[in-house]
Amino acid sequence: MTTYRPLAKLAAALAGAAVLSASLSVQAREIAVSTVLSDAFPWGQAAEKWAELVEERTEGRITMRVYPNSQLVNGDQTREFSAMRSGLIDAAVGSTINWSPQVPELNLFSLPFFLPDEAAVDAVTGGEAGEKIFAAIESRDVIPLGWGENGFRQLSNSRGAIDEPQDLEDLKIRVVGSPLFQDTFTALGADPTQMSWADAKPALTTGAVDGQENPLSVFDVARIDQVGQEHLTLWNYMNDPLIFAVNRRVWESLDEGDQAILREAAVEAGEWEMSMTREEESERLAAIQERGVTVTELSDAQYQAFVEATAGVHDEWVPKIGEEIVEAARAAIESR
C-alpha cells in the first residue's frame, strides 16, 4: 500500500493545481463605477442595479463595484468625467451637469426653462439630439451606454417663498461647479456660489448659503428641510439626466458578448430607475410638505417672468452647446 502513497500525493497535488487554475481563469474582472450619490438615493440605486444585472448575466465574470460620494475623485464631482476619460476610473453613472465642464454639449439639459416636462426629456434623449450628445461623449474616449435621471431641479431657500425673480435678489445660492449655473443665477439677481455636493449641506447648515437647487428625491433623502430650507419652489427649470458610461480602453478590453451585456444592463437599469424616480415624485412632495416645508407653485405668468429673466443665458450658451443639437432638441420637444 505504501507504494501508492507518493502517487496519491501527486494526484492530490495535481487536483489542487487544477482547481486553482480553474478558479484563476474564472476570477471576476472588477470594474470600478463612480457615482456622486449613494444607494440611499435613486441615482446610487441605478448604479447598483447595473452592477447586479451585469454580475448575474456574466455569471460573476464581471463585478462592477460602485464607489459613491465622488470618493474616486476626492469629492470633486466635476472631475469625474476627466478621471474616467484618462482611465483613473473605469466607469460611472454620472450627471450631465457634472460632466458639462468637459463636454459642453451636455449643457443642453441645463439651459434654463428649456425642457418643460418628462415627455420633452424623453423626446430629447431618445432622439437625434440624444444621439449627437452620445457622439460628443464618445469623441472624448468615453463610451455612453444608457440614460437615467436625477430629475427636474427645484429651488429651496431659508428666507422666504420665491415666486418671482425679484425674490432671488442677493440670495446666496449653492450651485454645482458648472459655469452655466453661475450665469443663470446671476441673471436672476442671486449671488451664486459654486461648491461640491459634499460641501453643500454644511454650507446650508451654517447659513453660509441661503438656498440650493436639487431634485425632490435629493431634497427628501438628504433631509434638506433639516438644515433650514423651509421654502421650496417647484419651477422645473431644468432636468438632470444621468448617463451610464465606460472608459474606452476598458470597453475595448471586453469581448462583444460582454459589451452587449453591459449596454443592455445599463439601458434596463436606467429605465427602471427613471420610472421609479418619476412615480415617487408625488409621495416625496407630500412627505416634504408634511415636514413643514412651504411649497410654492408658479402661475403661467410667474413662470414666464423667470423665462424672460434668463433668456440671455440661452443667447450666451446655445453657440457653446452647438446650434445643431439645440435645434434637434427643439424639434423633438415640439413634436412630442
Helix 323-334 vs helix 118-125: angle between axes, to the nearest 10 degrees? 130
Binding flag, residue 95, ligand X2X (CB under 6 A)? yes
Q: How many residues sit in the footprint of ligand X2X (CB under 6 A)?
A: 12
C-alpha cell at 158: 431659508
Out of 45, 78, 98, 277, point to the residue binding ligand X2X (CB under 6 A). 98
In whole angstroms, how close is the CB of 61 to ligand X2X at the nearest point? 31
Buried b / exposed e across 6-34, counting CB within 10 Å, b at 16+?
eeeeeeeeeeeeeeeeeeeeeeeeebbbb
- Nearer Cβ to ligand X2X, position 106 or 298? 106
The answer to whether 161 touches 233, Cβ cutoff 8 Å, is: yes
Residue carrying the nine cell digits 463610451: 143
Binding flag, residue 97, ligand X2X (CB under 6 A)? yes
- Nearer Cβ to ligand X2X, position 232 or 261? 232
Binding flag, residue 107, ligand X2X (CB under 6 A)? no
In whole angstroms, how close is the CB of 150 to ligand X2X at the nearest point? 6
Which 196-225 residues touch ligand X2X, going by CB under 6 A?
Answer: 197, 214, 218
Out of 45, 58, 78, 150, point to the residue binding ligand X2X (CB under 6 A). 150
Tell me the C-alpha distance between 197 and 11, whole Å: 59
Q: Which residues pair with 180 in a beta bridge?
A: none
Contacts of 244 (CB under 8 A, 6+ apart): 46, 50, 91, 92, 93, 144, 145, 146, 147, 148, 266, 269, 270
- Nearer Cβ to ligand X2X, position 99 or 251? 99
In whole angstroms, how close is the CB of 10 to ligand X2X at the nearest point? 59
- Nearer Cβ to ligand X2X, position 146 or 215? 215
Binding flag, residue 310, ligand X2X (CB under 6 A)? no
Which 22-41 residues touch ligand X2X, going by CB under 6 A?
Answer: 36-37
Contacts of 36 (CB under 8 A, 6+ apart): 43, 68, 69, 70, 77, 80, 94, 95, 98, 197
- Nearer Cβ to ligand X2X, position 32 or 216? 216
- Nearer Cβ to ligand X2X, position 53 or 175? 175
Nearest residue to ligand X2X, using CB? 197
Residue carrying the nine cell digits 465642464: 101
Stretch that binds ligand X2X, among 4-12, 92-100, 115-123, 270-278 (CB under 6 A): 92-100
In whole angstroms, how close is the CB of 70 to ligand X2X at the nearest point? 8
Residue carrying the nine cell digits 458610461: 245
- Nearer Cβ to ligand X2X, position 58 or 78? 78
Binding flag, residue 120, ligand X2X (CB under 6 A)? no
Stretch that binds ligand X2X, among 85-93, 95-103, 105-113, 299-307 (CB under 6 A): 95-103
Stretch that binds ligand X2X, among 57-65, 90-98, 299-307, 322-330 (CB under 6 A): 90-98
Q: Nearest-CA neighbor of 31 among 265, 241, 254? A: 254
- Nearer Cβ to ligand X2X, position 97 or 227? 97
Contacts of 59 (CB under 8 A, 6+ apart): none
Out of 77, 100, 154, 277, point to the residue binding ligand X2X (CB under 6 A). 77
Binding site for ligand X2X (CB under 6 A): 36-37, 77, 95, 97-98, 150, 176, 197, 214, 218, 240
